[in-house]
Chain A
Amino acid sequence: SQQGEEDPQALSIQEGENATMNCSYKTSINNLQWYRQNSGRGLVHLILIRSNEREKHSGRLRVTLDTSKKSSSLLITASRAADTASYFCATAEGYRGSQGNLIFGKGTKLSVKP
């Protein structure tokens, strides 16, 4: 089965710096979504990128998708202490007639120091 895998597993940066997280997956996808999870809390949806899109922006977030390399990256610009969380990519196969259930990676734990 396909599997999203993020790297790095952990990332520690200073406030104001940019944070880049990568995700790789194994099979063809319908879309890829990024989620954030604060410690012990729920999953907050950040951004969805479709398989026919290459780049998407939302505020300080920029997501790229390279289907030939089966990889995606999430860039958070001008990071803040409040961005400290775990970030997950999730892929959906989405074959005909199905929404495509999300397959999550292990996540990148981001720590932003004030």
Chain B
Amino acid sequence: EPEVTQTPSHQVTQMGQEVILRCVPISNHLYFYWYRQILGQKVEFLVSFYNNEISEKSEIFDDQFSVERPDGSNFTLKIRSTKLEDSAMYFCASSDWREGNPDTQYFGPGTRLTVL
């Protein structure tokens, strides 16, 4: 069964450093998402991406964050200058949504980001 993959599984970085989290969505899916989960808290939406542009973003997704689909398979989340509070599990998701036909969002296993 196709699945969303994410690399790395764990990333440790120093405060102020840039990190890039990588995702390979399911191949025929059109919508891509990033969510995050701070330890012990809810899963929170960050951004959705469709047709090579951001379709929606939350207030968490500020100027320090950016997303890119550099090629036909990868989807990346970049945090420009990490802060301690960016430490969280970051989940990528994808779906094959068509308007009027809600579809499941499939999640990757996550990247645990630790900012020291």
Whether a CB of chain A sits under 8 angstroms from the CB of B106 is yes
Structural contact, B48 and A101, CB atoms closer than 8 A? yes
Q: How far in angstroms is the closest Cβ of chain A from B99?
A: 7
Structural contact, A48 and B33, CB atoms closer than 8 A? no
CA distance A90 to B50 in the complex (A): 21
Q: How far in angstroms is the closest Cβ of chain A from B18?
A: 24
Structural contact, A92 and B42, CB atoms closer than 8 A? no
Structural contact, A94 and B104, CB atoms closer than 8 A? no
17 A–B pairs (Cβ distance < 8 Å), ordered by A: A33-B104, A33-B105, A35-B107, A41-B109, A42-B107, A42-B108, A43-B93, A45-B106, A48-B102, A48-B103, A98-B56, A99-B55, A99-B95, A101-B33, A101-B48, A102-B43, A107-B42
Structural contact, A94 and B110, CB atoms closer than 8 A? no
Minimum CB distance partner of A101 in chain B: B45
Whether a CB of chain B sits under 8 angstroms from the CB of A106 is yes
Residues of B within 8 A of A (CB): 31, 33, 35, 41-45, 48, 50, 55-56, 58, 89, 91, 93, 95, 97, 99, 102-110, 112
Minimum CB distance partner of A33 in chain B: B104
Residues 22-49 of chain A, each 1 if its beta carbon lies under 8 Å from chain B, else 0 = 0000000011010100001111110010
Residues of A within 8 A of B (CB): 30-31, 33, 35, 40-45, 48, 50, 88, 90, 92, 94, 96-107
CA distance A10 to B99 in the complex (A): 36
Question: Which chain B positions have C-beta within 8 A of A40?
Answer: 89, 112
Structural contact, A98 and B55, CB atoms closer than 8 A? yes
Q: Which of B31, B56, B91 lies in contact with A43, CB distance below 8 A?
A: B91
Structural contact, B105 and A94, CB atoms closer than 8 A? no
Question: Which chain B positions have C-beta within 8 A of A105?
Answer: 42
Structural contact, A104 and B56, CB atoms closer than 8 A? no
Known contacts A92-B102, A96-B99, A102-B33; 19 further A-B pairs (Cβ under 8 A): A30-B102, A33-B104, A35-B107, A40-B112, A41-B109, A42-B108, A43-B93, A45-B104, A48-B103, A50-B102, A99-B48, A99-B55, A99-B95, A99-B102, A99-B103, A103-B45, A104-B35, A104-B43, A106-B42
